[in-house]
Amino acid sequence: MVLNTHRDTLVRCGRWARILGLLLLSGCSALPHLGPTARSVASEQLLSAASNETGSKPEAAKLMSCEEYADQVAVAALSILAIDRRGHYLPVKFNDRECVDSETIKKYNHPGYEKDKLNLSDSKHYGEQHVENIVRKIKQDMASTVLIYIHGGLNTRENGLGRAIAHANMIREYDNSIYPIFINWVSDGLDAYTDQVFNNHQGNFDVPYKHTTSPLYFLADIGEGVVRGPATMTKSIKRLADSGAEDFTSPANIYCRDEKGNDPDKYEQSPGFVCSQEGSREDVASLFQTIRFASMAPVTVLTSPFADSFGKTAWDAMVARTQVMFHPPEEFTGLPDPKRGSTGSGALATLLEKLQEKIGKHIVDPKKGEVCPSHRRIEDRPSQCENKTRVWIIGHSMGTIVANEILVRFPYLPYSHIVYMGGAASIKDTVRSIDAAMSYNGRVKFHNLSIHPFLEAREFNGGGTVPPGTLLEWIDDMYTVPSTMLDRTVGQWRNVFAAQHVFRMDLRTSGRMIFKRFGLSCRNPIHHGDFDEILPDCTVEGRKVTPLRYWQQEYWTVPEPKATAADRRPTRIQRVRASRSALGDRQSRGPFAAIGESS
């Protein structure tokens, strides 16, 4: 009887936790994503793209039919890897309620979908089968580029799945030589909060102790929010004050070449840093928005304590999920397994190991089984070892944390472009990961994209019911305690500009590292979540333009800076190479070998 009463109490506490968490996390984009199915999300994305092409403005989103949905799923099914809360493969069932009987859709469902719940053995078996199907499809399509996209936090399962279906079709239509793979992981804020409170204890998952004591942790979050409330609100006010004037007169704006290639002298001051000058403050901060902002200030004061404490708990759970997709919890229980690799046994690790095996190493002679030496830098390999397939890594927000892990754990993949959009990863971790990738691959380029700092601090969340600022602002000011500037997020322009010297100068001057800040016009991302949105057509400087999309290279590349007298002077590396060529003596080349290789 006592046990039943205790269980009922836990259930009631869990319900209240979900209700309160829903209200508090709605400002972090959790609420708008509840409810829609993958088919409705895909319909909305495709309709937005279609309206851009035709120039029409749709009155309302039209839900595609089951037949149309089946056509979209046929293209996207083998471009999606779904991962559950503990890093295991999760089969996707594309049939929704209205299309539940569609046999056409059913044949594209992922292996193991017919089972209600997969055990660890089934998940591993079906996951390996699905990965084999993906790699086989890449080979069959003779794709020259594999685009691996990792979405950010605060995305529900259905929202991420719907976007993946729509974007996979758009990418293949845009360029059929690009094969996209979408990593669909569970990053819903409400789900993350409840999971952290009820299941996660100091890195151990699903322990009975946490189930029993979860109400205490819930109450602790309330108490922490109340205590930290004044400090949280003070930080919000400071962010708003800083965004008002400093961002337009600070060195981060003055010493930054514009994206059209002008002002080359500014580029010399900060090589690799490029700013879009389109748009003005008035375009994104109207009088109505300012009044609305001020009128919601009292509500923000009341909710800021809980956005801090409850949001931090959800953040901790989402960070854990970026790691378990490489090393799931069961790896750390039971007896040590000598067969277990250092890269991990999670669903994402399984996919990347297979890709590294199939496209990271090139077989010279299939009959003899000769393989190109993997320890050599890609550009130093003999011509017969040249791999024609290239890999793009594109991460948005928390997806950059996953991308950092990929670059360190799987350095032999033939990367050509690494793109971070509003990265939630720390500067320190990003520097280490990018250096690891570039030390092996002398051709890979890194692109770091940020929205304007004026917009970072003024993003309006939940109708103004929670503190202003993007997720990156919240991470730096509430969810983490940065010890130094290098522990702050790499996606915030002010952070990365201040820390530019920790990124190698030779890579920035050579164009292999580009840090791009978008402007304030309507064709640029205005909100943190706009990086992977299908933005509508708009008018810029009197002409109609269609915003670029993240899979188009023009979105993250920039024109070369116009030449100056300083540009025409040979660099140190160029002088070394010239002297080496002039000497032509093998012995005299020795001391310069290391310098030449590092360039």
Pairing mode, strands 538-540 and 513-517: unpaired
User: 308: closest CA among 476, 164, 531?
Assistant: 476
Structure tokens at 265: 């002298």
Which residue stretches of 325-419 are H helix?
Answer: 347-359, 399-409
Residue 419: predicted pLDDT: 98
Q: How far apart are the first and last CA of the chain?
A: 73
Q: List Cα–Cα distances, 71 to 96, 106, 183, 459, in angstroms.
A: 15, 12, 21, 37
Q: Which single residue is written with the structure tokens 């956005």?
A: 307
Other beta carbons less than 10 A from residue 239's beta carbon: 21
The residues pairing with 83 across neighbouring beta strands, listed in sequence order, are 89, 185
Q: Which single residue is written with the structure tokens 């900060």?
A: 270
User: Average pLDDT for consecutive 10-residue bins of the chain (599 residues)?
Assistant: 44 45 40 63 87 59 88 97 97 91 94 93 96 96 96 94 97 97 95 94 89 90 86 74 56 66 61 86 72 75 83 96 96 82 93 89 50 59 70 98 96 93 98 92 94 86 81 93 97 94 93 93 92 90 90 88 51 54 48 41
Residue 341: predicted pLDDT: 81
The residues pairing with 181 across neighbouring beta strands, listed in sequence order, are 148
**pTM across the whole model:** 0.86
Residue 281: predicted pLDDT: 77
Q: List Cα–Cα distances, 298 to 224, 295, 456, in angstroms.
A: 20, 7, 21
Q: List Cα–Cα distances, 31 to 36, 185, 189, 478, in angstroms.
A: 11, 18, 9, 21
User: 275: closest CA among 252, 254, 259?
Assistant: 259
Long-range Cβ contacts of 325-329 (<8 Å, 24+ apart): 325/83, 325/87, 325/183, 325/185, 325/349, 325/402, 326/87, 326/405, 326/409, 327/87, 328/86, 328/87, 328/88, 329/86, 329/87, 329/204, 329/205, 329/206
Pairing mode, strands 363-365 and 273-275: unpaired
* DSSP class per residue in 152-199: -SS--HHHHHHHHHHHHHHHHHH-TTEEEEEEEE---HHHHHHHHHHT
CA angle at 251 for the pair 245 and 254, rounded to the nearest 5°? 85
Check if the beta carbon of residue 421 is closer than 8 Å to that of residue 448.
no
Q: Rounding to the nearest 10 degrees, give the CA dihedral for residues 481, 484, 485, 487.
A: -50
Pairing mode, strands 80-83 and 178-185: parallel
Residue 270: predicted pLDDT: 83
